[in-house]
Structure 1
Amino acid sequence: MSAAREYGLDEDYEWARPPVDGWTADDLDRLPNLPPHTELIDGSLVFVSPQTSFHSRTMRLLEGALLDQAPQELDVLREMSVKLDTRNRPEPDVLVFRAEADTGPQQTWYRPEDVVLALEVVSKDSKERDRKVKPRKYAEAGIPHYWRVEESEGLPVVYVYELDPATSTYVPTGIYHDKLELALPFPLTIDLTAINRRR
């Protein structure tokens, strides 16, 4: 089966063949029938594999806890993209951003200067991107906080990073098992063992 047919496109549609200079961040809003959660990294389209239960439950736990504890001027969403530049538009699993940056129900991306925290839950196919590529790009774009979440015996382990503005790189500030307690980007406490709790 061809890639075009697999994604519900006409056989003669050539979106799978990138332009000479690669795709742009704006192309993600124009290309028809892209698979859900397609990202753009260095001008190349990146497709995600099916989500695991751990990945989905971790996003639910962290999104809910962040939303409950974020100050009024911040908002939290999952799986919204950030237009870092014309060739990079990744989609963090969870995003904390300035509430005033919300432009309405048709918005598809946020600017890096409006993002306070980008959070990625690592999956088998995203290890390289989440551990190396995305943190570098988020830091260079000036996003002040980055969390990488990995699975250990069914529970989330959160690796917390803060931006060093002098070098535009992230500095690790802690690794959290069972309980995440931080003062930045705002005071919060998250019980990481509650991943399977429904209420």
Structure 2
Amino acid sequence: MTAEAVIVKMTPSSLPDWVFPPPQGFVAEDLDRIPDLPAHTELIDGSLVFVSPQANFHMLAVSLLEAELRRAAPANLRVRREMSVILDRDQRPEPDLCVVAADAVEGRRQTFFEARDVSLVVEVVSPESQTRDRQRKPSLYARAAIPHFWRFEDQSDKLVVYVYELDPATKCYVPTGIHHDRLKLTVPFDVDIDLTTIDRM
């Protein structure tokens, strides 16, 4: 028995309108207006970025950190998972986690936060997002003056956290630590997380 390739010819009329970007690229507000857009679509440099299915590590790392940050965050801050942040006209990424000012939370129908209300963004690196999470998105977050950025990675089946703080003079992130078994920090607030817990989840 032989397998034959099935070729599906796509025509402009069979594709959704959002497949074709406008001449100047998409803008941040478009993500709330485009019908049937796949969940967790990001806007990077005016282009739509679609998220691939996530590995178990990604889900566990985000869940661990979300729970710990909610416990540690002071009353004037809120932790949000997979909410987009408008950084500029054509930049609306969706960090895995962000910490925002409590007074920036407007209600259950809210779909984004403004960069000025965000004090921390966290990205958990996946194989398909390495370049974005390690290079492009940190650059965009820093340029938008978000004070803190953390990057979580799976290295040889160990959770490793890279911590960065914004240098306001250069508008660039400066590395302040690499954490392997324990994440203990005093900024942006006191945090003490046993990273090995991920192996027991």
| TM-score bin, normalised by smaller chain | over 0.9
What displacement does 1:86 show? 1.0
Q: What displacement does 1:12 show?
A: 5.4
CA distance in 2, matches of 1:90, 1:2: 32
> 2:127 is matched with which residue?
124
Provide the C-alpha distance between the structure 1 equivalents of 2:46 and 2:117, rounded to a whole number of angstroms: 22
Residue 129 of structure 1 deviates from its aligned partner by: 0.5
Mapping of residues 98-109 of structure 1, within 5 Å: 98-109=101-112
Q: Secondary structure at the match of 1:29?
A: helix
> How many aligned residue pairs are there?
194
Aligned to 1:157: 160
List structure 1 runs of 4+ shifted beyond 4 angstroms.
1-4
2:61 aligned counterpart, secondary structure: helix
SS of alignment partner, residue 15 of structure 1: helix
Identity %: 55
Residue identity matched to 2:129 = S
Q: Distance in 1 between matches of 2:119 and 2:164?
A: 12
- AA aligned opposite 2:168: P
Q: TM-score, normalised by structure 2?
A: 0.92
Which residue identity is paired with 2:31? L
CA distance in structure 2 between the partners assigned to 1:54 and 1:101 by the alignment: 30
Q: Any idea what the Cα deviations from partners look like across 1:76-111, whole Å, max 9, x if unmatched?
A: 011000000110000000111111100000000001
CA contact (8 A) 1:22 1:44 kept: yes
**Per-residue Cα deviation, 1:12-63 (whole angstroms, up to 9, x for no partner):** 5321000000001000001111111000000000001101000000000001
Any conservation in 2 of the 1:83–1:90 contact (CA below 8 Å)?
yes
TM normalised by structure 1 equals 0.93
Alignment match of 1:177 (pick from 177, 180, 185): 180
1:155 to partner: Cα distance: 2.6
Shift of 1:153: 2.6
Which among 28, 40, 45 is matched to residue 42 of structure 1?
45
* Partner Cα separation in structure 1 for residue 90 and residue 10 of structure 2: 23
- Measured on the aligned residues, the alpha-carbon RMSD in Å equals 1.6
Q: Greater CA radius of gyration, 1 or 2?
A: 2
2:58 to 55, 59, 69: 55
Q: How far has the Cα of 1:2 moved from its partner?
A: 6.8
- Give, in whole Å, the separation in 2 of the partners of 1:69 and 1:12: 46
Residue 7 of structure 1 corresponds to which residue in structure 2? none
How do residues 11-30 of structure 1 correspond to structure 2 at under 5 angstroms?
11=14, 13-30=16-33
Which shows bigger deviation, 64-73 or 10-19? 10-19
Q: Structure 2: 5+ residue runs without aligned partners?
A: 1-7
Query: Which segments of 5 or more consecutive residues in structure 1 lack a partner in the other structure?
Result: 5-9
Give the distance between the partners of 1:164 and 1:22, measured in 2 at CA: 30
Contact 1:3–1:16 at 8 Å: present in 2 too?
A: no
What is the match of residue 3 of structure 2? none
